[in-house]
Amino acid sequence: MIEFSKEAMELAQRIIKRYPEGKHKSALLPILHLAQSEFGGWLSPETMDYVAGILNIKPIEVYEVASFYSMYNLKPVGKCLLEVCRTGPCLLRGADDVVSYIGNKLNIKPGETSADGMFTLKTVECLGACGYAPMLQCGADFYENLTEEKLDLLIEKLGAQPERSTYLKSFGVNV
């Protein structure tokens, strides 16, 4: 059995109260974010069932939502998920080079995880940073105007201290 930490559960209850009586299903997206950051960076069937229980909705209602949105990982990912934007404006400023540089450095292709389980490389669509291209996101942080030197430093830094997006952090809760 999995269970939220006390902080996460408190936050979940606070979020549910933001929606009118009977409309608690609205809290599904935020609570899935919370669950993903609490339980290893991805949503296992067990995690999704747990969320369904918290919101008192059917598991299928959770599955269909989790599979629709690209930020929910339905498979395990590395400790650091490197999401490189590859849409037009980033492409103009070298997104391809970023993908191949990381790929060569870590010996992985987009969609794969490095042998040590540390890094997963993923290509994503426009992240709203087109003016600071090329860019990637890791956890909640944006890394912009990337160069090879910056990528070297970044991978070194993240390798030593993996950074995962935590919804709790957005509420000033440190975990």
Q: What is the contact surface with other proteins in residues (CB under 8 A)?
A: 18, 20, 23, 25-30, 32-33, 55, 61, 64-65, 68-72, 86-89, 91-93, 96, 124-133, 137, 140-142, 165, 167, 169-172
Window of 28-36, 58-66, 86-94, 99-107 that interacts with ligand FES by CB under 6 A: 86-94
How far is CA 37 from each of CA 72, 106, 148, 167, rounded to the nearest angstrom? 10, 24, 29, 7
Among 90, 121, 151, 158, binds ligand FES (CB under 6 A): 90
Residues 107-146 that bind ligand FES (CB under 6 A): 126-130, 133, 135
89 is a contact residue toward ligand FES (CB under 6 A)? yes
Amino acid at 61: E
Place of tokens 């650091």: 80
In the list other proteins, ligand FES, none, the entry touching 68 (Cβ below 5 to 8 angstroms by class) is: other proteins
